Every structure is written in C-alpha cells, then in structure tokens.
Structure 1
Amino acid sequence: MYQTIVMTCGVSLLSLSEKNVFAKKTSELLQLLCIGKREFSELLSKRQIDDETREVISKWIDQTKMYVAEAEREPNSVSAEYSMMYELRKRGKLGKFPRVELVLTNTVGGNIVEQLLQRLFEEHFSASVGSSYVDIDVSEPKQMNRILGEYMQKVSEKLSQGEPSSTCFAPLGGYKIMTALGYIVGSFLGYPTAYLYENSQIIHEIPPIPIHLDDRFVQQHIDLLRRCRVDAIHMDELSYREHQVISTYSSIFQQEEGYVYLTPFGEFLLEHERYKHLFETKYFATKQVIKMIEKDKQFSIDQIKELVKKLKYAERIIPDLQHEKEFEKIDQRKVKFHLYKSITGKVFRLAYQYDEAEDQLYANYLWFDHKQYEREAEKGVGLYEAYDEFQDVTHLILGNTIK
C-alpha cells in the first residue's frame, strides 16, 4: 500500500488530442489567447509571460473546476499522472489519504499542470499535494549537469519523506533524462520505481538495483571533487593519480574537450545527506548579523544561501555582489568586505567575505533599512573592518539552531 507518491510531471494533461478529456477546454484556452497549436507549445515551455497572458490563464484554470467530474468518468483519458493514481487505487495499492509530491519543470506548462493536478488529486483521491520546481537548461552542458544534480537532490528529498515499503516513485513526465536520473536516485536510496505504459494502462513496478559507492572514495578525493564542482578543470592541471581516478569513476566525472567536471550523479552525490557535511559551505557571522537574522530568520537565511549560490555558480560578474563600487564616497582601498545587494521586494544588504578555497562565507554586517544602509555604508561601516568576532552559524543557516 503506497502512502507517498512522488512523480515527475509533464504536460500531457494539456494535450490537444481528441482522446484527452481536457482537450476541449485546452482548445478554448488557445482561443482565449488567440494563438495556434505551435504557439501554445512554445508558450508552455516559457519561464516568464506577460501579465495579460497570466490573467487569461488564471481565469481559464478557475473555469475548469466545473469540468473536473469529466476526468473521473474517463480516468484513463486525462494524463499519465492521473492514470497512475487511478490504476494504483484500482489495484488496491493506493492509501486512503495519500501524500503526492509533484516535481515539475519551472515553466508556464508546469505551473498550469500543478494547479490542475492538485485539484484533481485532492477531490478524486483525497490526497494532500506538495510540489517543487526544477529549472532545466539544455543549452550549456556544465550548467545543465549542476541543475540535473539539483533535480536529483529534490527527488531524493521527496522520496525520503516516506518509507521505501510505502513509497511509489513514478517518473512520468518532463525531459526523458529526468526519468533516467530519477531511477538512479530511487535505486541509490533503495526505493522502487513505477512506470505506466499508457497504451495498455499497465503499471510496471521496477525494484531498485543496488548502487553503492565506498564512503572512503569521497573522503580520499574530496579536494578533486570540490574543484570539479566549482568549475570545469583542464586535464593538464591534474596529476597522474587524478587522471586515473577520473577514468575509473566515469559515473561521477565527465570529460569534454580536454576538461573535466561532475556528472549529474556527481553533483547529486555531493549534495546527498551522507556526504553533505564534507562539502557544505561553512557560515560565520558577527553578533550584529546574528541579531538581525533573528528578526526575519527564514528570509535572511534564504538570501544568504542565494548569495553563496551566486558566488559559486554565476558564470559572469554580477554587480550586486560588489555593490560597494556604486558608492562614490567609499574608499575602495580600505574595503575588506564586499556589499551584497539582494534583488527582492524587501531590503537585504550584507557586508561579507567569501573564501572560495575553503568554501566559507563571513557575514560581517546586515541591513534591512535602505536609508540606514546608504548612510552607514558610505561611511565604511561593515566594509573596512570586521564588526566583531565571527561565530560559526552553519547550523543556523542549514536549518538547525545556534549552539
């Protein structure tokens, strides 16, 4: 009996095929948007749309409420995700009040599908529904590997919410590579995978294949793994021993045009809880920063993590990481800490240092008030010297409490 179902989702729910019960309603959406099938397909793949299009889609989603009953009458003509839930219940394998975790691409189509599936699953299967998004960019291999590694980690987190014996992993939609990598995650963690062959509505349940990596490997080669995680490394910069390691562990290291970097599985591996303590960023903060974080903890932690993400993975110089250069009155020769200007609706300005070699962030001074920030920053407050002693706040940033 499955109490938790984790599924990757595509956009088959929005198919214009005559076999799809939502096809008529989807065709109406095209008419409302005044676009053809090709333009609609392109729209579903977009990450951003204008306000007018967003409003039309929102109203259309609200109108679909009255058509939800049609899906229940023709359960195998809705989508792969709906068919999976229906067949599990039909075979007596679905819990009475299951938890469904959706993993979707961060696109217009993904957003629409999330809202429709949530409504269908809640009403027809008494399910509680959660969701998370992944940004898949197929244009740049190194960037894509990192993103796919993040995707694998999200799948891991979702699966870990349930026990292997009562959790069904169904990689149904999205890019094909998401299905393949999703199965690897499931096997690595010991979870079975379920696949639905839509033409016959037959569910295939695939047991996990044992995937194991010696913990000593990670500990022995932590420096090489860290370097390949930060950037692509030219093979000429590596020792003979490192060349041997890379050749032996092709599932972790990817070679291309004389460079080596981590595969999606390698990226996932470094994020996995088993090894996370070896690779996670260390965070240090002054008493002033700690006090400010406590005023708006979740927001502050999210912004600090976003800063580190930009420092590690930005492929170009971002002015907001060194905002002190925008101040004419700041003596740049005295600056020891950079200024981070977060792009959010709320003010978040942080004076910081980042030690790339050790992967350590030092948060020196934090502002939530814009006027105070401009007044103090131009005088060098938090920029010229450490405000006070730094304390290790890694536990706070990563979700625990300060000791």
Structure 2
Amino acid sequence: MVLVVWFREVDYMRGVAALAVIAVHVSMNYTRIPDVNLLALTNVFIYIAAHFAVPVFIFISGWVLAARYTGEFSIREFYQRRAKTILIPYLFFTALYLLIAVEGTIGFAGVPSPERVAEALLLGTGAYHLWFFALIIQLYLLFPLIVRGYGLFDRFGAALYLLLSLLFLVVLWNTGAHLMGAYLGPEWYTVLIRLFPSYLFYFVLGIHVGRHTDRFRSTLRSLSPAWVLAAAGGGALLIGGVWVAAVALSGSLAGTSLAVFCIYRILEPLYYVPVIAVLVLAAWLLDGGGGEMAGAARSFGDHSYGVYLIHPLVIAAAATLWISLTGLSWADGLTYPVIFVVAVLVSYAVVRVLAGVPYAGWVLGEGRVRRG
C-alpha cells in the first residue's frame, strides 16, 4: 500500500542538514591553510561537527519511505519513482562536475577519460559531494528487502535488538574501513565507506520511526530538551576534539594516520542520534512559533535537494571572485563566513529560480513529486 504522507519535521530537518553540508564543504578548505593554527583547528572542528548531515538525510529517507510504503506495494513503481528522483540529477551533475573543477576555486577540469567517467558513476567521485548518491542508490535498491526484514523483527517485538545489532555493525564496518585504508591503501577506504552498511543503521532507524511515529514523538516529548541538547553538544565536543587533537599533535592532516580516526568512528553514533532528536525538537519549536522564520526554514528545506546539488559550484565561484577582488585566500579567517553565507543565499536563490524553468526542475530534483 502506498500512502500520501508527510511529516512537517522533515522540511526543517532537511534545511538544517543542507546548511550543515555547506558548512562541511566550506570548512574543509582548512587543508589549504599552510600552518596548523587556531583558524585551521576551528575549521577542523566545524568540519567534523557538521558531519551529522548525511546521517540525518539517510534517517529522513528511511522515515518517509517506511511511512509511505506499507504492506504490499508495487516494487516496479517504487523503483520508477526513485529513478526519477535520483538518476537524472546524478547523471547530469556527474557530467557537469567532471568538466568543471570545484576544488577551492572554479575552473575547467578537462575532458575526462572513459575510466574516470566509469569511476565517477560507480563511486560518486565526480565531485566531493556526489558520493552520497552512490550510497543512497544502494539503500533505495535494497529498501524492499530491508523494510521486509525490519517488519519480521518488528512483528516479533525485536526491532530494538535489530537496531542495536546494526549500531554495532556500522561501528565495526566504519572502523574497519579506516583500518583498511591506513594499512592496505586509501582506495579501500574510498570504496568501503560508500557501501550501504556504512549508514544502514540510520536508514533502519528512520524505518523504525516511520513505523512508530506516534510512539517516537511521545517518547521524545517525555525527554528533557536540555539533556538531549547536552548529549548532542557533548558528542560534538568529543568527536570534534578527536580530530582537533590528532591534527594539532601531528602538525597536519596528511601526517595523521587513518587509523587514529577509528576512535572517531566508534564515537560518532553517540553524537548523530542525539542530533536527530535535537533537530526534531527544534522543528517542533519553529513550527509552533510560525511566522516568517518558520516559513523560510520550511522553504529552504523543501529546496534542499537542489541546494545540495549546486552548492559546490557556488562555493567555488564565490571563492574565486572573493580571492580576486580582496586578495584574501582560504588562509584568511574572513573568507569562511563570507563564502558560507554567499553559498547558502545564492544556492537557494538559484534553485528557486530554476525550479520554474521547464525541465530544469527535473535536473535539480525540483520536478519530482514532493512528499516522498
């Protein structure tokens, strides 16, 4: 059965996750700062603390799909719908980013070789943000099996046991990816971290919430918001601190072994799960207050897919213009907040404008049927 459902929390959560993605991709330019100074370490912390974005997007996907597709549903129609949502934007932007370099500044990347094209399509390496598509495509392909497997555990009252098992799996898988990358070569990490087990826990957590949304909301309302916020803040300090300490002690990211970040991978679920709870609480607060702020937040979240696709172009173009006009670079502190604000505003504005252009909306994911 296919239901037309939507949760108001989702638009707010997507908006915050999109902001976090932009923060990650602006702050990651700390690698262009020649010295390990306060600016570099601050951006290292922001880079890691904002990494909750992908788990949140994966969680939302599981939540909405599980609520929409219940009982028996047409697998063919499910795949057709997901293909319209994912494949057209993925193919178009992979081709675009293979031609246009967006690392630090913007420029022509040259004509890619067939091997480069194949790698980009399989691993999502056309640009630094397209790996998400390689991951979500796997989860969409497996969704009919995953949701039926979850249903079996849920009928026997063992859904929480399944979630705890998957939590252990995701920690084991991601720490293993770091170890393999450290001792067998970074290409192992590149592949393993893009395979579906790396985020399966968050997808199934979303499915669990989709099947028990009222219970989830009731449980969350019974918790102290201050304690939930403290748990998320403590998690950010913990995992961000691991990276900051590693970079500070080694003198550079390049001098830090991938194996060090196994600690970060062990701790990250203790941060991401409270963040999901915080975002739901924040969504309720914004939605309850209403007004222009709530409307703007919902609109940004509603267009977050298109923002996700084009923001690297905006960041690179803005950085190129900023550097040429001011003489400042990624080694200067003012560059980061300026580029972040410009990327947020311009990306959103471009998506809103292009959404009304015939066929352009499909490329940006704006032509898809919304609400699932």
TM-score by length of 1: 0.24
Higher relative contact order (CA 8 A, sep 6+): 2
* Greater C-alpha radius of gyration: 1
TM-score by length of 2: 0.25
Higher strand residue share: 1
